């Protein structure tokens, strides 16, 4: 019983590390990005196009993901996660000393690399190992860190930028990154099958079995899942950054739009938890198909979200389904190919993220420039979601138990 409690608490301490890494990495970068645009514009004279270009540089992180994933499989998540989180923190601590535009771009590329090793790949591997029987629920909880960062860290950053300046805000994000790095180094570890602290029930699971990368890429399922994840990831580049602006264009007051976006993030947390449990019960493939269909429906309806009742129905529902995707894309890879080589397989699949990271902002920008609205971008994105759902539905499942 004592050994069970030790193992139980260790697992949740590690889940907390994943949660915090996502909160700081996503809340301190993506959700808070807008608060730095005007201060950087005023300080350096950079145009908004020049500043916004850094968002497309996130795609660079996708190309290093196979290497990081392979290192996680071979060396464990502890050092990779702690080091990556430290690099993320340092990239923010040095931003107050920027003087040239290339400094901004270089640090943005470093940030994109660090997020892969800090918050993108480790959670799926660690939760898959420590929670083999309810990994859907736990990944859903750890993935809530993204939304938590938007709800908690983002307002703190906004306050610091307003009351102090952008340099103080960047320094605080960097300090948070270093603190999470230290915590991760202290608590994260892979379960050792030779340790007496590992539960007998864990030994009987498939947590150390599964396809190798070479075996996985020979299956149709690998390409169906890769395509589905590629399609689902468009939600982060062509839809999420435009929600607030779209509502304001549709006549929603700025203060109301801010509340709606906060509700959007809150419902995303609920979506992760609900679909995580749904995955445990019915399987991640069915859950992801349902999620992509839900995103397609409400992305289309988001076109009509304006002042009044629609904004309070459509926006939260879209947030619910969008949030769920953040948990499901890891679960479906574990379910199809196992945990043993998850890092290497997920790392290769993650290369596909470069496509939506690059094309998403272009689709949204062209939609607005040509029509004065993001409606066309939302409709295109909803069609992409449907294509992802179809690819999963038409491909037979693999079994990691062979």
Q: What is the mean pLDDT of residues 232-239?
A: 88
- The confidence score (pLDDT) of residue 157 equals 85
What does the pLDDT read at residue 50? 81
What local confidence, expressed as pLDDT, does residue 1 receive? 45
Q: Which fold has domain 205-394?
A: Growth Hormone; Chain: A; (1.20.1250)
Per-residue confidence at 208, pLDDT binned at 50, 70, 90? low
The confidence score (pLDDT) of residue 367 equals 86
Separation of alpha carbons 125 and 134, rounded Å: 14
* pLDDT value for 396: 61
Q: What is the pLDDT of residue 379?
A: 95
Is there a contact between 174 and 89 (Cβ–Cβ < 8 Å)?
yes
Handedness of CA 102, 105, 109, 110 (dihedral sign): positive
Q: How long is the chain?
A: 402
Residue with tokens 């608490």: 9
Alpha carbons 169 and 166: distance in angstroms, whole number: 5
What integer pLDDT is reported at residue 203 of this predicted model? Answer: 43
pLDDT in tens, 95-147: 999 999 999 999 999 998 999 888 888 888 888 888 877 888 888 888 888 88
Task: For domain 1-188, give the CATH superfamily.
Answer: MFS general substrate transporter like domains (1.20.1250.20)
Phi, psi of 131 (to 5 degrees): -130, 65
Q: Which residue has the higher pLDDT, 369 or 283?
A: 283
Per-residue pLDDT, 168: 94
Whole-Å CA distances, 21 to 114, 245, 341: 11, 28, 22
CB atoms within 10 A of CB 8: 13
H/E run at residue 236: none
Whether 201 has a pLDDT exceeding 50, the answer reads no
Q: How many C-beta neighbours within 10 Å does residue 67 have?
A: 15
Average pLDDT, the chain: 84
Backbone angles phi, psi at 296, to 5 degrees: -60, -45
Nearest to 327 by CA among 280, 359, 397, 293: 280
pLDDT for the residue numbered 299: 94
Least confident range from 119-133, 160-174, 314-328, 331-345: namely 119-133
Report the percent of the chain where pLDDT is more than 70: 91
Listed in order, the ranges of the chain carrying CATH 1.20.1250.20 are 1-188, 205-394
Place of tokens 């999470």: 180
Task: Please say if the pLDDT value at position 4 is more than 50.
Answer: no
| Angstrom distance (rounded) from CA 335 to CA 317 | 26
Strand partners, 6: none
* Range of lowest pLDDT (205-209, 255-259, 287-291): 205-209
């Amino acid at each position: 019983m004592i050994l069970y409690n030790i193992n139980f608490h260790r697992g949740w301490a590690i889940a907390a590390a994943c949660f915090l890494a996502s909160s700081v990495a996503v809340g301190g970068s993506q959700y808070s990005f807008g608060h730095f645009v005007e201060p950087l514009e005023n300080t350096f004279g950079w145009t908004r196009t020049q500043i916004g270009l850094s968002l497309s540089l996130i795609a660079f992180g996708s190309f290093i993901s196979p290497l990081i994933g392979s290192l996680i499989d071979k060396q464990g998540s502890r050092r990779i996660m702690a080091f990556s989180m430290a690099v993320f923190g340092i990239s923010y601590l040095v931003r107050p000393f920027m003087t040239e535009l290339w400094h901004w771009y270089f640090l943005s590329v470093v940030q994109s690399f660090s997020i892969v090793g800090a918050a993108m790949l480790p959670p799926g591997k660690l939760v898959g190992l420590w929670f083999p029987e309810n990994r859907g629920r736990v990944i859903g909880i750890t993935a809530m860190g993204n939304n938590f960062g938007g709800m908690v860290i983002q307002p703190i950053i906004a306050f610091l930028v307003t009351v102090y300046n952008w340099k103080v805000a960047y320094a605080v994000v960097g300090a948070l990154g270093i603190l999470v790095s230290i915590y991760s180094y202290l608590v994260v570890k892979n379960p050792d099958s030779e340790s007496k602290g590992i539960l007998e029930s864990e030994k009987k699971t498939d947590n150390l079995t599964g396809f190798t990368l070479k075996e996985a890429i020979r299956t149709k399922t690998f390409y169906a899942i890769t395509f589905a994840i590629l399609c689902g990831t468009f939600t982060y580049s062509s839809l999420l950054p435009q929600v607030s602006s779209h509502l304001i264009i549709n006549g929603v007051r700025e203060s109301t739009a801010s509340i709606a976006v906060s509700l959007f993030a809150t419902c995303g947390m609920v979506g992760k938890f609900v679909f995580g449990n749904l995955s445990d019960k019915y399987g991640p493939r069915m859950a992801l198909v349902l999620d992509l269909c839900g995103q397609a429906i409400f992305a289309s309806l988001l076109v009509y979200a304006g002042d009044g009742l629609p904004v309070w129905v459509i926006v939260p529902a879209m947030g619910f389904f969008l949030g769920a995707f953040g948990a499901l894309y890891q679960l479906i890879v574990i379910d199809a190919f196992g945990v043993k080589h998850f890092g290497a397989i997920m790392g290769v699949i993650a290369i596909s993220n470069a496509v939506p990271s690059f094309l998403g902002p272009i689709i949204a920008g062209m939609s607005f420039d040509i029509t004065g609205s993001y409606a066309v971008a939302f409709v295109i994105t909803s069609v992409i979601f449907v294509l992802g759902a179809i690819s999963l539905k038409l491909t037979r499942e693999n079994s990691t138990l062979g």
